[in-house]
Amino acid sequence: MTNQLTDRPTTEKGERVALTDRMIRTLPAPASGKRIVFDHHRDAPKGFGVRIMATGSKSFVLRYRTKEGAARIQTIGEYPTWTLTSARLEATAIRQRVDAGADPLGARREERAEPTISDLVDAFDKARLGELASGAEIRRYFDRDLIPALGKRKVRTIKRRDIITLVEARAVEAPRAAALLLTYIKLLLAFAEDREMVEVSPAHGIKGIRINKRMATVKRGRTLDDAEIRAFWAGADTCGIHRLTAIALKLILVTGQRPGEVIGMRHDEIEGTVWTIPASRRKTGTGHVVHLTETALALLAEARAEVSRLAKRRGWPESPYVFEFREGKPGTTAAMSKALTRYSEALGNRDTPDWGHWTPHDLRRTCRTRLSEIGTPQEIAERVIGHAAQGVVGVYDQHKYRHEIRAALEGWERRLLGIIDPPEANILPFAREVAHA
């Protein structure tokens, strides 16, 4: 039987006795809650005992106080998975740490509360990714590559070797994707260092070329094929994506200009069929003149009509921006990227092993690639998308190539329209009618 005041095992005569395996097996469960029977064997440390739950389950525990006086009851393990002897030995080791001033249970609780890599990714997403044009792409890389491998690990336990192993495995099949993954992991762990989750980022100083030489030489080469262009062009009108976003994305493909230059376009930059992008809005720091084809002009007319509709409904004043998403403010490349991620399936934006989904900048790369495809000289194609001539040529050749650029963009327009609405789509129905006549 048991002394009700001390909850200690006693003999029939009331003497305290040590726990035995037989006694533990026969200890009755309380009607509700739990009870702890403390062990007084000579080999048992102070506070060691067995806890019995109302369900009948039994676990070995150690009760102790921290040096600050806080009461703790640490679970050692379930009986009979843990034997009485092994539990006493473990309790003795814990008691030694407690007597030395440690708080094992408190340390375990703190460890459990420490953020995992998944927690870190969520915090980084909330704090930083919305500010980055490539935020949606970075999150895709984390969800696809990082979280499945290391997501449950505590941030502080991540070592340099863990990162190298992960990136090495990715580099075998997709060197460029591995290089981007390493870059994004560095950003993530630098954020963790700033937030004092780690003292020093374990990714600091890791060089991609030391992991896989191809990572340093392969540049992004994602372009859209004919089927992807058709799916994008049709889906942009029907999938529910913001109308201004759809128009801006189309205009990138039509003109080959940078996403930031397109989404920030102003009405005063356009005069007739000429769009002059000022140096202040260009990466190169030089102005650039773009010929606007009939397709480009039609897209701009759609954008004006949509902004006018939104302004009238929301009471906005006249805006200087072609793509005004909020009162007095143009759209952002980050918003375009997020929209592409959200509507990727409806836009036919398929994932590829090396490059993933296509991005707004990949539309610009597609335009440049197709210019070469239709026979545009490299020098002209480069000038179409605003790449300045290098070296001596850039210094001495000041010809603007306006007619050649116009011809190149109109040639690309014809090719694009042929992809969107291929001639065979109009011929086949007629051919079937003739066949059945």
pLDDT category at 389 given cuts 50, 70, 90 is low
Q: Is residue 324 predicted with pLDDT exceeding 50? A: yes
Q: Is residue 272 predicted with pLDDT exceeding 90? A: yes
| Start-end of H helices in 147-238 | 147-150, 160-173, 175-194, 208-211, 213-217, 226-235
pLDDT category at 212 given cuts 50, 70, 90 is low
Those residues with Cβ within 8 angstroms of residue 43's Cβ, 6 or more apart along the chain or in another chain = 88, 92
Helix (H), strand (E) at residue 60: strand 58-65
Dihedral, 38, 42, 43, 49 alpha carbons, nearest 10: 0
pLDDT category at 354 given cuts 50, 70, 90 is low
Cα separation, 128 vs 192, in Å, equals 12
Cα separation, 306 vs 302, in Å, equals 6
DSSP structural state of residue 285: S
Q: Is residue 138 predicted with pLDDT exceeding 80? A: yes
Q: How much is the pLDDT for 5?
A: 35
Average pLDDT (42-48) is 90
Average pLDDT (365-391) is 87
Q: How much is the pLDDT for 393?
A: 40
Residue 328 or residue 295, greater confidence: 295
Average pLDDT (409-413) is 96
Q: How much is the pLDDT for 396?
A: 39
Q: Is residue 305 predicted with pLDDT exceeding 70? A: yes
Q: Is residue 319 predicted with pLDDT exceeding 70? A: yes
Closest by CA to 385, choosing from 416, 417, 408, is: 408
Q: How much is the pLDDT for 433?
A: 45
Taking residue 76's Cβ as centre, other Cβ atoms within 10 Å add up to 21
Average pLDDT (76-92) is 92
Per-residue pLDDT tens over the stretch 219-244: 678 899 999 999 999 999 999 999 99
Q: Is residue 263 predicted with pLDDT exceeding 90? A: yes
The percent helix, strand, coil of the chain (3-state, each to 5) is 55, 10, 35
Average pLDDT (350-373) is 88
| Percent of the chain whose pLDDT exceeds 90 | 47
Query: What are the extents of the domains in the chain?
Result: 2-113, 117-217, 226-428
Per-residue pLDDT tens over the stretch 20-34: 988 999 889 998 888
**Three-state DSSP class for residue 268:** helix
Indicate the CATH number for domain 2-113: 3.30.160.390
Average pLDDT (323-337) is 85
Those residues with Cβ within 8 angstroms of residue 86's Cβ, 6 or more apart along the chain or in another chain = none
Those residues with Cβ within 8 angstroms of residue 258's Cβ, 6 or more apart along the chain or in another chain = 252, 282, 283, 361, 364, 386
C-beta of residue 357 within 8 angstroms of C-beta of residue 344: yes
C-beta of residue 415 within 8 angstroms of C-beta of residue 408: no
DSSP structural state of residue 32: S
Cα separation, 273 vs 194, in Å, equals 49
Phi, psi dihedral angles at 425 (to 5 degrees): -65, -25
Dihedral, 244, 246, 249, 250 alpha carbons, nearest 10: -110
Domain 2-113 and domain 226-428 have a common topology: no
Task: Give the architecture (CATH level 2) of 226-428.
Answer: Orthogonal Bundle (1.10)
Task: Give the architecture (CATH level 2) of 117-217.
Answer: Orthogonal Bundle (1.10)
Quickly tell me which residue has 């300045």 as its tokens: 388
Q: What are all long-range contacts of 123-130, with beta carbons under 8 Å and residues at least 24 apart?
A: 123/191, 123/195, 124/187, 124/188, 124/191, 127/191, 128/187, 128/191, 130/334
Please state which of the ranges 298-302, 315-319, 398-402 shows the lowest mean pLDDT.
Answer: 398-402
Which of 195-204, 386-395, 406-415 ranks highest by mean pLDDT? 406-415
Token output for 121? 């990714």
Q: How much is the pLDDT for 52?
A: 92
Phi, psi dihedral angles at 165 (to 5 degrees): -60, -45
